[in-house]
Amino acid sequence: MLRLPPPRGPSSVPTRNVNQSLTRDNRFAHVDPRPTILLVEDDPLLRDAMRLLLEDAGYTVVEAGTAAQASAAALAELPGLILLDLGLPDRHGLELARELTPRSGIPIVALTGRAGADERRRCLEAGCRDYLAKPIEPRQLIAKIQELIGTV
């Protein structure tokens, strides 16, 4: 049986947290045409700010605060892009990038507090398409996303 999603107001933007379960009955009830971004950031305040920025730019956002949540979400949601903080509490982000890149082929942009050629090289060697140093300038983030997966 197909269930229709609840009515949404004009300002309502769908956001999913990986802790919300998807059942087979409602998984395909609503297909959002907007590109989905998996946002992996352990700092809840930064994650909320980035989510709002991405939603305002027209993207659907799936959130994860740990590497374990991100791994599960990447395979379940098949996002168009992963924004990956490298300093996660349960695992280093580059280890996760090395795991996900060959399995999923999803482009990954590393978010790091370190800048420089060595950090960039490590990110690219781990399979990331690019990296952005924190603090991240919002226009630069949106431009990088548009470069990798297109505009909304």
Could you report the per-residue pLDDT of 7-56, keeping only the tens digit for each? 444 444 445 555 444 444 455 445 557 899 999 999 999 999 999 999 99
Q: Is residue 24 part of a domain?
A: no
Q: Is residue 47 part of a domain?
A: yes
Structure confidence at residue 93 (pLDDT): 96
Tokens representing 66 are 């740990």
Q: Is residue 60 part of a domain?
A: yes
Q: How deeply is 105 buried, as exposed, middle or buried, from its count of CB atoms within 10 A (0-12, 13-18, 19+)? A: exposed
> Rounded CA gap, 78 and 36, in Å?
8
What is the span of the domain harbouring residue 40? 33-149
Looking up residue 78, the CATH number of its domain turns out to be: 3.40.50.2300
Q: Is residue 9 part of a domain?
A: no
Could you report the per-residue pLDDT of 95-105, keeping only the tens digit for each? 999 999 887 88
Q: How confident is the model at residue 5 (pLDDT cuts 50, 70, 90)?
A: very low
pTM (2 decimals)? 0.78
Q: Is the pLDDT of residue 62 over 50?
A: yes
State how many domains the chain has: 1
Structure confidence at residue 24 (pLDDT): 44
| Side chain identity at residue 32, one-letter code | D
Could you report the per-residue pLDDT of 71-96, keeping only the tens digit for each? 999 999 999 999 999 999 999 999 99
Q: Is residue 55 part of a domain?
A: yes
Q: Is residue 3 part of a domain?
A: no
> Rounded CA gap, 137 and 56, in Å?
15
Q: How far is CA 43 from CA 65, 78, 88, 109, 152, in A?
A: 7, 23, 9, 17, 26
- For the four alpha carbons of 3, 7, 39 and 18, in that order, the dihedral sign comes to negative
Q: How confident is the model at residue 150 (pLDDT cuts 50, 70, 90)?
A: confident
Structure confidence at residue 32 (pLDDT): 57
Helix (H, G, I), strand (E, B) or coil at 19: coil
Q: Is residue 110 part of a domain?
A: yes
Q: Is residue 23 part of a domain?
A: no
